[in-house]
Structure 1
Amino acid sequence: MQTTGTKHTQRSRATRAALVSAARALFAERGYAGVGTEEIVRAAGVTRGALYHQFRDKTDLFDATVRTVEAELTERIAGQVMTDAADPVGALKAGARAFLDAFAEPDVERILLLDAPGVLGWRRWREIGQEHGLGVITAALEAALAGGATAGRPVPPLAHILLGALDEAALMVAHADDPEAARAEMTEALEHLVDGLLARNG
């Protein structure tokens, strides 16, 4: 039998999830500045008081939305793309390609690239990216080294370099006049970067 506390926790989680889901759809459609909190609570089917019980303000809700999108993106790339690669170096390249391809999706591009750096600030945006992506990159680099690749530097700085390069490449694509051409150029550049950082033994 569920206790009152358990039911309350479940309702609270459901309310939070509904708010993030509604906000995500609206932010993706019109951007952070074009969406009001009243519209979000209507779409979520909750009260305004429920929103402010879960989040300090609209920016706090947006922060949670960014973390949700970032977590889903990281899980998709690590769980579906990189694990299918033939070797760890190939996994890094496949992950880089999938990362850039994901930003062709309007909600990912709008929320993570076009709005998040300005709304949350560069530092917070980078913190979220590191929280979700740095571990995946670090694990892939360690797997590459265990599989016979060599690197001229320890793994932690290399992981930060790759994460920064991925973010910069995604921003370049998002703001390019020809996103498709920019995506192809950035993908090729990232693959060359991986090759430059890692080399095969023997």
Structure 2
Amino acid sequence: MLAAAREVFAANGLPGATIEQVARRAGVSRQAVYEQFGDKAALFEQTVSDVEELAYRTIAARGEQDAGLDLRTWARRNYAELFAFVAEHPDAMPVLQEAERAGIPALTRLRSRLAEVYTDASRRRWAAHGVEPGRADTALVAMYFAMTEALVTLSWPEEPPDPEALIDLLTEFTVGGILRIYNHAPEVLARIR
């Protein structure tokens, strides 16, 4: 039922989704959905909670892997993994975005939780470049997720670019951009530290 609810809420949003649609998609009666979840609001909250946990478990686990990778390789791999997560779970981002619109800060919580994992991992890698971003690390990780979210959910007027090209763009923009700031405008990072 939750898998069906995820599809229905992703496609129709909270206002447009119905218990009937969820029941039909799950192959159960409306009564079964009501007995399991009570009402549409409770079903939505459980769906959002499950999607948030799935995203956290998957993305955090991927971010903690490969401790020996250098910064650029690690960043590129993580951008690729986020693109892969969205491809594997196409309903996840729409459900989390709908939750935010409905006043449930699931995406905000997810970003904060992931920032803890990724901040520590990125800090070690930036140190290898002589960069000590301090608190700027948290801002950088937030930007990392925001840029990726924007690109993976972007509606292109024509055929979208190859995801590999977007991943390369994100990688070079992030790594090259921060190194440029550190070398040419260190006061920007210093003000955030």
Same fold (TM over 0.5): yes
Q: Report whether the alignment pairs 1:193 with 2:176.
A: no
Report what 2:79 is aligned to. 96
- Runs of 4+ more than 4 Å apart: 25-28, 146-149, 177-180
Using the size of structure 2 for normalisation, the TM-score is: 0.66
Distance 1:183 1:67, change over 3 A: farther
> 2 CA distance for matches of 1:182 and 1:142?
30
Report what 1:10 is aligned to. none
Distance 1:79 1:129, change over 3 A: closer
Q: 1:168 aligns with which of 128, 146, 150?
A: 150
Matches within 5 A, 1:9-48: 19-27=1-9, 30-32=11-13, 35-40=17-22, 43=26, 46=32, 48=34
Amino-acid identity (%): 18
Moved more, 89-98 or 64-73: 64-73
Match of 2:123, SS state, is helix
In structure 2, runs of 5+ residues without a counterpart are: 183-193
Tell me how far 1:161 sits from its aligned partner: 1.8
In structure 1, runs of 5+ residues without a counterpart are: 1-18
> 2 CA distance for matches of 1:94 and 1:85?
12
Amino acid at match of 1:91: W
Report what 2:191 is aligned to. none
Tell me how far 1:86 sits from its aligned partner: 4.0
Aligned-CA RMSD value? 3.6
Using the size of structure 1 for normalisation, the TM-score is: 0.63
> 2 CA distance for matches of 1:134 and 1:122?
23
Q: 2:69 aligns with which of 87, 91, 94?
A: 87
> 2 CA distance for matches of 1:165 and 1:177?
19
> 1 CA distance for matches of 2:56 and 2:120?
13
